[in-house]
Homo-oligomer: A and B are copies of this chain.
């Protein structure tokens, strides 16, 4: 970071909101985290009838405070980004909007209030906030292991789905409507409930043949549960091993653990995880402010 540059207030705001390396940036993230959790708790309390009846005005006031705070944050985010449309149409942009609009809509149209609960989706931002702090440190191997085994687990889930459709259809034919297997989708749902060893028991086979097939499904599910576990365990072990036996020139294998990343995100295109000391965004070439 050789020559510090003069920043206008939008760059500064961008740094506070989108990055976590400066004290102000960290403080903003902590406050945002608390606000998100508080908003979730408010929504939860409001959903409990007898609490809502007694404390309705308090909860409603809290809702409005949170909603206005989130609205201000949303506006600030739009102002300080170079390409606002990119943020507005991004995943987090849509969620941020969805977590404020229902409350305003509830003034005009009754019944949309329940959608306030969609605010829970903002919790996903917690991953983003934490990712930049201890998340990367603690679970780097884990994420790599999951990425490495993603294709295999997808193939595996695909096989489970096919099994569920086939056995679900067979159970529908065997048990029939009178025993709760009222149509094939419901029967497939039951089959997944069984294969995953959840077993609600809202639907359960009644005929001896149905119970026999259920036994086969359960034992299959029992054997199948071993597969993703084995894959993840194995990939995780190899991730750990490869990093332990890592020589300097093996760094390319595990770039995240050997290269220092910082939490700033490009003011232009919102790409993050820039390398420390990077002068330009790796994604759009926009000049980054390193000071």
Known A-B contacts A115-B173, A192-B215; the reply to A165 vs B40 at CB < 8 A is: yes
B152 adjacent to A138 (CB under 8 Å): yes
Among A206-248, those with CB < 8 Å from B are 208, 211-212, 214-215, 218-219, 221-223, 225-238, 240-241
Q: For residue A141, which residues in chain B have a CB less than 8 angstroms away from its CB?
A: 152
B47 adjacent to A183 (CB under 8 Å): yes
B197 adjacent to A44 (CB under 8 Å): no
Among A1-58, those with CB < 8 Å from B are 40, 43-44, 47-49
Neighbour of A204 across the interface among B159, B168, B183, B200, CB < 8 A:
B200
Q: Does A252 contact B (CB under 8 A)?
A: no
Neighbour of A183 across the interface among B49, B134, B215, CB < 8 A:
B49
Q: Does A107 contact B (CB under 8 A)?
A: no
- A108-124 interface code vs B (CB 8 A; 1 in, 0 out): 00000011011011011
Measured CB to CB, the closest approach of chain B to A106, in angstroms, equals 15
Q: Does A71 contact B (CB under 8 A)?
A: no
Among A164-200, those with CB < 8 Å from B are 165-166, 168-170, 172-173, 182-186, 188-189, 192-194, 196-200
**Cα-based distance from A228 to B222 in the complex (angstroms):** 8
Q: For residue A270, which residues in chain B have a CB less than 8 angstroms away from its CB?
A: none
Q: Does A157 contact B (CB under 8 A)?
A: yes
Neighbour of A192 across the interface among B188, B201, B218, CB < 8 A:
B218
Q: For residue A231, which residues in chain B have a CB less than 8 angstroms away from its CB?
A: 142, 226, 236
Neighbour of A117 across the interface among B173, B193, B236, CB < 8 A:
B173
B230 adjacent to A214 (CB under 8 Å): no
Q: For residue A234, which residues in chain B have a CB less than 8 angstroms away from its CB?
A: 230, 233, 236-237, 240
Measured CB to CB, the closest approach of chain B to A8, in angstroms, equals 36
A-B contact pairs, 14 of them (CB 8 A): A44-B184, A47-B184, A115-B173, A120-B169, A138-B152, A139-B156, A142-B156, A157-B223, A189-B212, A192-B219, A193-B218, A197-B199, A229-B233, A233-B237
Those 10 A-B pairs whose CB atoms lie nearest each other, nearest first: A230-B233, A230-B232, A198-B199, A202-B204, A201-B201, A200-B201, A120-B169, A226-B228, A47-B184, A226-B229
